[in-house]
Amino acid sequence: MKIYSLFIIMTLTLGLRAQAQGKPVYLDESRPIEERIDDALRRMTLDEKLAVVHAQSKFSSAGVKRLGLPDVWTDDGPHGVRPDVLWDEWEQAGQTNDSCVAFPALTCLATSWNPQLARAYGESLGEEALYRNKNVMLAPGVNINRTPLNGRNFEYMGEDPWLASRIVVPYVQGLQSKGVAACVKHYALNNDEEYRHQVNVIVSDRALREIYLPAFEAAVREGGTWAIMGAYNLYNDQHNCHNEILLNRILKQEWGFDGVVVSDWGGTHNTMEAVLNGLDMEFGSWTNGLTWGASNAYDSYYLALPYRQLITEGKLTTKELDEKVRRVLRLMFRTTMNRQRPYGALCSEAHYEVARKVAQEGIVLLKNDKLKANGNLPLLPIASDSRILVVGENAIKMMTVGGGSSSLKAQHEVLPLDGLCGRFAHVDYARGYVGDTVQSYNGVTVGRSLYDLRTPEALRAEAVEKARQADVVVVVGGLNKADYQDCEGHDRRDYAMPYGQNELVRAILAVNPRVVFVNISGNAIQLPWVNEVPAIVQAWFLGSESGHAIADVLSGDVNPSGKLPCSWYARLEDCGAHATGSYPGTWREGKQIIDEEYKDDIFVGYRWLDRQRLKPLFAFGHGLSYTSFAVTQAVADKSEMTSAETIAFTVSVKNTGEKAGATTVQLYVSDRKSSLPRPVKELKAFRKVFLQPGEQKDVVLTLDQRSLSFYDDRTQQWTAEAGDFEALIGFAADDIVKKVKFRLK
């Protein structure tokens, strides 16, 4: 009774204080957010509470107009702010002020190995979203690249959980510094696209914790993300948008996540599970969130009238609803109700500078052999007065358009051919092949006609004839964002280069060996002529400044510094998901469910290659430069550490070449003896360093107990066993140049 009386007194005191200040507590920004949430929640009716936990249009959820709480507007995507669609249709709204800067794909951002650049990326995207009145950006994606066939790998940050963790945290912090919520996706185990609604992932607790969850955990615990998006797939026979283990036990209870869990569009399947298993806001398109509709579509969502009916029938109380509304109100007070948010900016010069910088640092020089036909010098960089022939459809195809929900309406996109023409005086072009001639996607046109009715033989013949006269042939090829390539909703059907590009490359090599292949893709791809082409550049999907960035690197105006965030397999069979036969899974008898058992377990990417002693085509962390670097020494500050201590390694890095440039020093940990199998090595620290010719700098790389730990699924906890360890220091997973032994007491 005394406690209840105290509560009444406190409530009256808060109300009188708010009256004295002339506004309700929930509108008073000087009050703690939790007090404002309590006050607003008490004022809301049942119907108002239900309205805020599900969509009212394709991309918005209702506020509470009676209380002055505005609607919440979400938008795709991770690489730019998606153009607006109609209220209840996927068609473009036809606006003229919803263009954007297209930033490079997240795979490219991860390839920069530059957390400071990730912060700038997030800030720039936040400013663009703020200008467009978007409160929640459905970004970034941090699912692990388990197979190079995943059509959505280009939206993610590679195969390594530590690298993805170090890039996602500053991205989230930068975005949210502008008062726009990050919605990190797709939680979790969304590692392939084909049949993504039916895949039930079977994975060990250890692999879940060591490989597939760390980037999400970092986004929550370090980045402080305000939202998480559930994935379409299932785990433990429950859909991940209402998964008891992932959402309640791990995300909310263990990690202490205080934001909102948003369903992927149409990812909700059951009202009772959605209510009890951690979903906070349901989004989708039509009545069931995905495929069919009615005039009262959004009222028919699982968290709308069906939820209300369960409450009125007494089958549920408002306990869970109030918790969901608390989280939504917390999101509102952080975003729409935050009057201290800065002003946004759209398509600013600063944003284009960030986009270009990310593209420059993300381009990877995979190969640059010396060539007798080039005076026994590397083919790159290309001399300014060279006669250059550019070949390939990807040199004239917009890559900001298509690929699924991350498709954009960029204010402009500098195509590779245009960027090269702007930088070099003598540039000719030949199409070489025809791949995808789609002229528009979701209402956005590609700008330049891609139709060409010539035969493959005629296209090759033209390219070969022009190649005879060129000093350098730059073939711009690879994948695109068509279905079954780098595209949401489908995986790639094979690992091969499409559209007859292999035949094209070999035909050109027969008349001119001075060939540079610029591969545009979000994934690794089979390169059967890798030993014949002297220079290979990985250019990803580079966004608005694509052509400029490619010209910057090929000309040598920018020294490439990108390092691969994923292993590049010589054969698809060298990838663990395929070697074990676990991808794409097996249809469950009599059910519309595919069981996909992750038999590669913790051995993903370079971990699998090391375990099987397989040589990659290009290793994780690989990336060349126009200069050279050396580690002159690496020393630890102690030879032994306790679990409460850290150990710091001072690594001296020197630019031993003649050009200014950057490299990334990588530290992998090797456990010399363990009670459970462990990878040969695991990335646990890195640092990007910029050096002038002859300059030397010391970088400090630090390890703590978690860096040495594995997840023991026998005891369900992280464990660091006492014993001997080795710090393996180098410039790639296959380029270890120093080893330092130490011991954990």
Q: Report how far residue 618's alpha carbon sits from residue 496's, in angstroms, rounded to the nearest whole number.
A: 16
| Catalytic pick among 39, 71, 98, 264 | 264
Please give the full DSSP string across 551-578, using - where no structure is assigned. Answer: HHHHHTSS------SS-B-SSGGGSHHH
Element at 427 (helix H, strand E): strand 426-430
In whole angstroms, how far apart are CA 94 and each of 84, 91, 97, 447?
8, 9, 9, 16
The identity of residue 368, as a single letter, is N
Answer whether 429's CB lies under 8 Å from 391's CB.
Answer: yes
Q: How many CB atoms lie within 10 A of CB 588?
A: 13
The identity of residue 570, as a single letter, is A
Q: Report how far residue 426's alpha carbon sits from residue 215's, in angstroms, rounded to the nearest whole number.
A: 46
Active site residue 264: yes
Question: Whose structure tokens read 């190649």?
Answer: 467
Mapped onto helix, strand or coil, the DSSP state of residue 636 is strand
Q: What is the dihedral of CA 350, 352, 353, 354, to 10 degrees?
A: 90
Using a 10 angstrom Cβ sphere, with 0-12 exposed, 13-18 middle and 19 or more buried, the burial of residue 225 is: buried
Please give the full DSSP string across 494-545, using - where no structure is assigned. Answer: -SSPPTTHHHHHHHHHTT---EEEEEE-SS----TTTTT-SEEEE----GGG
The identity of residue 529, as a single letter, is W
Q: Report how far residue 522's alpha carbon sits from residue 533's, in angstroms, rounded to the nearest whole number.
A: 21
Using a 10 angstrom Cβ sphere, with 0-12 exposed, 13-18 middle and 19 or more buried, the burial of residue 6 is: exposed
Please give the full DSSP string across 163-198, using - where no structure is assigned. Answer: HHHHHHHHHHHHHHTTT-EEEEEEETT----TTTTT
Strand-pair category, 387-391 with 515-520: unpaired
- The per-residue b/e assignment along 144-172, b for 16 or more CB within 10 angstroms, e otherwise, is bbbbbbbbbbbbbbbbbbbbbbbbbbbbb
Tokens read off for 146: 């388990």
Q: Report how far residue 204's alpha carbon sits from residue 214's, in angstroms, rounded to the nearest whole number.
A: 15
Q: Report how far residue 654's alpha carbon sits from residue 675's, in angstroms, rounded to the nearest whole number.
A: 39
Q: Report how far residue 58's alpha carbon sits from residue 70's, in angstroms, rounded to the nearest whole number.
A: 16
User: Count of residues for the chain?
Assistant: 745
Element at 361 (helix H, strand E): helix 349-362
The phi-psi region of residue 465 (left if phi > 0; otherwise alpha if psi is between -120 and 50; otherwise beta) is alpha
Answer whether 277's CB lies under 8 Å from 247's CB.
Answer: yes
Side-chain half-sphere CA neighbours of 393 within 13 A: 25
In whole angstroms, how far apart are CA 378 and each of 372, 619, 627?
9, 21, 12
Tokens read off for 243: 């998964």
Strand-pair category, 387-391 with 472-478: parallel
Answer whether 341's CB lies under 8 Å from 178's CB.
Answer: yes
Catalytically annotated residues: 264
